[in-house]
Structure 1
Amino acid sequence: MNASALKAELFAYAREIGIDKIGVCSAEPFDELRVRLTEHRKKGYDSGFEEKDIEKRVDPSLTVPGAQSIIAIAVAYPSKMPYNPAQAPGAYRGVMARVSWGQDYHHVLKERLQALKDFLLERIPHAKAEIMVDTGVLSDRAVAERAGLGWIGKNTALITPEFGSWVYLGEMVTDVFLPRDEPMSDGCGECTRCLDACPTAALVQPRQLNARRCLAYLTLTRGSLEEKDREKIGARLYGCDTCQTVCPYNQRVNATHQEEFRPDPETSKPLLKPLLCMTKSEFREKYGASSASWRGKKPIQRNAIIALAHFKDTTAVPELAKLLYEDPRPVIRETAAWALHKIGGEEAERVLITAESKETDPTVKRQLQQYLEGSNKNCTGRS
């Protein structure tokens, strides 16, 4: 089949199955990316979630031998909820990043890419093709940029003219030749809003992110967080959208046409206190179909504790006390102790005193002792 005609058919079918943007680029190695990734790793900026083998990340032929083309796709998602659920003292809410709204995008995009792959194989039965979304070895953004879907902004997100950076990305590597699309020019200009707004200065320079300092990464970790990071997280439960919400290309953009990604405000901005005692089965029922579920409930519960401290919610003291007394996870107990100390008040202090006498984990016990010593010094200073 003529390559141009095949490409036209693929593009037309992509639109039929709900793919918002599609482009094609060569499968030649991403040599410039290799240099950046090597430097990135030397500086310790990796998150640890990436593919460890840099060569696999930059050479598509290691995924599909004889690879000639990569088909890149983008699917838009909403940036605004249909309404903001009520928030009040005693009924504070946390925030889930937009990538977790609606159904898990990994499944949605893989289904559409699989349909596109099947369409290709119907026409070229002997073709080889491999699809990937986010967790694949290639850099989705580097592929999308080369295929002309947009450009990589200073916040390291791919920015499209139509949908800003509110897009999910995926690709299909194939040994079939298809005509290439032209990359776009950089549209960021002199703007530095994303760099200026980053809460932890994780954007160390344009298009370079120290993932270990990014709040999106910190909300996903399962361990204890440093106090300075707890202060920065605020009410974030999963992910961080700050560098995207300030981007001029994302203003007044709200793609609501993808039904799978329409958010449920009660899930996307949930009440905090119910999260503290949520069981595994309850968590799976509420968040199992969302991309927020992949790290389990522990990070979200820890972050909910931090959010309650951020709001200084005194009505949460009984729930936090129950966690401090009974939860088997030291990270949760330690975070609950910190939250009670931050909320303050006589009731919270009584809980800390009782917990210190019972605590067996040395790290948690040491933290409790420090909080109580600090309270005693403050009392002495006021007498």
Structure 2
Amino acid sequence: MSAQPTAPTPDAAPTAPGSHVVDGFAGAVGNTPLIRLRRASAATGCEILGKAEFMQPGGSVKDRAALGIIEDAEARGQLIPGEPGIVVEGTAGNTGIGLTLVANARGYKSIIVVPHTQSREKLDFLRMIGADLRLVDPKPLRDPGHYVNFSRRIAEELEAKGERVIWANQFGNLANAAMHEATTGPEIWTQTGGKVDAFTCACGTGGTLTGVARALKARNPTLRIVLADPMGSGLYSWVKTGEVKAEGNSITEGIGQATAAPGNLEHGRAFIDDALQVADPEALEQIFDLQLHEGISVGGSAGINVAAAIKLARQMGPGHTIVTILCDGGARYQSKIFNPEFLREKGLPVPPWLA
């Protein structure tokens, strides 16, 4: 980062300690509010709180991982602020958005590989913010054409040509979980005054769950950590039996793994107490309810998370405080979750105001 001026100029005042002014994109990442979800809390007798990660500057919880990964690469000398560099990643969309915006702020280029099946809104946004977007067919993880493997090869080829490049590797790069351990978890603890009984969220890379779990368990070892999993993912089975075994399917994007637990999640396994499965109709019920009755518009993974928090609250009984993650906003899924034709095609309920 460039050095700060030693004295204020006529156009810029210095940022005072305790000020609400932050320094650029990086300074705006984190410190999102906890929102009390009124209807979920009333229905369960618990305090159900959602961490409003859709309020991040890039619009999702993945801004934290993106910043952590790039800052870690800079600390290692793999990228140098102010000098040319390239960030390469394979992603369902949100991590690519976060990485591209952080890269823009640091002066790097970004190459983002995404399955073409992801929501049109995320793909359009990536193009809009200047990512070199490479679309691929959806493939199993073991296939060389899978977006993760494809992105790794791009990074290797660029490195062989002498480019200063990193493969972000959000699934295996432990800077992901470390960022959540340093920021998200402590924020939750402070915001609840330490009065939090459980945390639940779905996993794509596992960075959020692992990082938050480490931070919260360090402060209260009896606090419950519960993985939320959509149908079609094998992580529920992995927690319950040790085997990744997927059943069913889901329209949610960016969460769930069908073949293997990612590296970030494996490093958090010792902190996970249980897992819950959530079907798409349960998630959609919460998405539509939040939007219609509480004015909170969220995407599919947040719907999974809120539905899991309600299930967990009913297991634990009234009087508990349960925190989950509102990962991103609903506008990124207008062509899917909020598209009546898409919902009918999938045999899913259509909310009355869209019907």
> TM-score scaled to structure 2, two decimals?
0.28
**Structure number with larger C-alpha Rg:** 1
Q: Which has the higher strand share?
A: 2
> TM-score scaled to structure 1, two decimals?
0.27
